[in-house]
């Protein structure tokens, strides 16, 4: 009887350890698979990923996918800080290129709609996106409309100037034609008080201009101010060229970098039509694109970020097992980057 009990006990023990190590092995295998997939897809440059088409609501609210020869309106999201995350010049260029490839080739795209909710951002990305949209419009002879759905300030308005018409929702804010440099701070006096000295080795006259670790010389900021003035001149040129109701002298001397509610923005010429829903803008764009009222069409947008990247990104709770509650302010381009950015 004792031998039988020992045999049952050993069998149970073996079964337990077999099941235990099988579970451990499965967990380890799954973990390795997850990180292998993460590694593979994280190696891909997000900017190079193929964009994924998505059917958006048309003027009637329909998102039904239609035949491959149906006319298309391309909707581009300009939301967030320009130059960060998915709102970069390279990703917008990817969207524009994809809109002429594969199922959308043969000039299916008849018009472009920019949906804007942005405080602006980097000077370079704002200018490149503006020029990309302008070039697309001229090359393919399609109408471009902009719809402000919230905030269209600074670099956001810079991009909106590429549109033939600018529309806005009833609570939108528009404007802030100006240039902002990140602040320069001098810590020389504070460091001196605690006995800290520094030395910067340079070659080239003015290479360490605005060095925060030494006293600044009179007029040292002039070179940077010239850059700010240059970008501001470019901005005002773009606005007055594309918005004929806004005169250069008025813009510089009177309007400045102010933002305006939609009714005032329409009065001053910043927008063409205010207090209008998105569906009405889509309908008007379809007509401007030569699509008859009784003709079917589709509104298409593109997602340039891979869902793998969103799922397995470095700070994803799925990977880290941690959830953070924090306000993270995006870093501006460069230590003292110049921005077309609305700053409240």
Give me the residue spans of the domains in the chain: 46-183+244-341
Of the listed ranges 50-64, 99-113, 214-228, the one predicted with least confidence: 50-64
What are the tens digits of pLDDT across the range 153-212? 999 999 999 999 999 999 999 999 999 888 889 898 898 899 988 888 888 888 888 888
To the nearest whole percent, how much of the chain has pLDDT over 70? Answer: 76
pLDDT band for position 239 (cuts 50, 70, 90): very high
Of the listed ranges 118-122, 213-217, 253-257, the one predicted with least confidence: 213-217
Distance CA 105, CA 340 (A): 34
Amino acid 38: pLDDT? 56
110 noted as active-site residue: no
pLDDT band for position 317 (cuts 50, 70, 90): very low
Q: In which residue are the tokens 């810079």 written?
A: 158
Q: What residues contact residue 158 under an 8 Å CB cut-off, 6+ apart?
A: 120, 126, 127, 130, 235, 238, 239, 340
Q: How far, CA to CA in Å, does 199 sit from each of 191, 196, 208? A: 13, 11, 11
Amino acid 206: pLDDT? 84
Closest alpha carbon to 76 in 98, 59, 61, 60:
98
Catalytic residue among 154, 172, 286, 301: 154
What are the tens digits of pLDDT across the range 73-116? 999 999 999 999 889 999 999 999 999 988 888 889 999 999 99
* Domain spanning 46-183+244-341, CATH architecture: Alpha-Beta Complex (3.90)
Amino acid 325: pLDDT? 37
313 noted as active-site residue: no
Please state the pTM of the whole predicted model.
0.77
Amino acid 43: pLDDT? 44
Half-sphere exposure of 43 (CA within 13 A, CB side): 5
How do beta strands 144-153 and 259-261 pair? unpaired
The answer to whether the beta carbons of residues 257 and 126 sit under 8 Å apart is: no
Catalytic residue among 207, 241, 258, 296: 207
Distance CA 69, CA 105 (A): 10
Distance CA 255, CA 79 (A): 24
Amino acid 11: pLDDT? 65
Amino acid 182: pLDDT? 84
Instruction: Name the percent of the chain in helix, strand, coil, to the closest 5.
Output: 40, 20, 40
Residue 309 predicted with pLDDT over 60: no
Question: What is the chain's mean pLDDT, rounded?
Answer: 83
């Amino acid at each position: 009887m004792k031998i039988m009990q020992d045999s049952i006990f050993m069998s149970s023990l073996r079964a337990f350890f077999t099941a235990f190590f099988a579970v451990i092995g499965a967990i380890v295998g799954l973990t390795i698979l997850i990180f292998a997939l993460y590694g593979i897809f994280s190696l891909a440059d997000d900017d190079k990923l193929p964009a994924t088409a998505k059917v958006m609501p048309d003027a009637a609210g329909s998102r039904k996918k239609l035949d491959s020869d149906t006319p298309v309106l391309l909707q581009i999201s300009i939301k967030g800080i320009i130059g960060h995350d998915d709102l970069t010049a390279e990703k917008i260029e990817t969207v524009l290129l994809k809109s002429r490839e594969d199922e959308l080739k043969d000039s299916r795209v008849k018009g472009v709609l920019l949906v804007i909710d942005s405080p602006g951002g980097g000077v370079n990305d704002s200018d490149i996106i503006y020029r990309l949209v302008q070039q697309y419009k001229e090359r393919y002879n399609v109408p471009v409309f902009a719809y402000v759905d919230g905030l269209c300030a600074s670099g956001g308005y810079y991009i909106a100037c590429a549109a033939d018409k600018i529309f806005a929702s009833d609570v939108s804010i528009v404007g802030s034609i100006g240039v902002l440099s990140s602040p320069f701070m001098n810590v020389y006096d504070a460091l001196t008080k605690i006995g800290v000295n520094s030395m910067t080795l340079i070659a080239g006259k003015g290479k360490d201009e605005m060095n925060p670790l030494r006293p600044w010389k009179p007029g040292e900021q002039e070179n940077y101010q010239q850059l700010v003035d240059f970008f501001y001149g470019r901005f005002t040129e773009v606005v007055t060229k594309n918005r004929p109701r806004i005169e250069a002298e008025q813009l510089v001397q009177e309007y400045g970098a102010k933002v305006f509610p939609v009714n005032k923005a329409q009065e001053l010429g910043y927008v063409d039509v205010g207090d209008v829903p998105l569906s009405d803008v889509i309908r008007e764009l379809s007509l401007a694109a030569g699509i008859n009222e009784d003709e079917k069409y589709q509104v298409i947008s593109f997602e340039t970020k891979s869902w793998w990247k969103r799922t397995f990104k470095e700070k994803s709770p799925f990977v880290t097992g941690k959830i953070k509650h924090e306000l993270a302010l995006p870093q501006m381009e460069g230590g003292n980057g110049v921005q077309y950015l609305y700053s409240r």
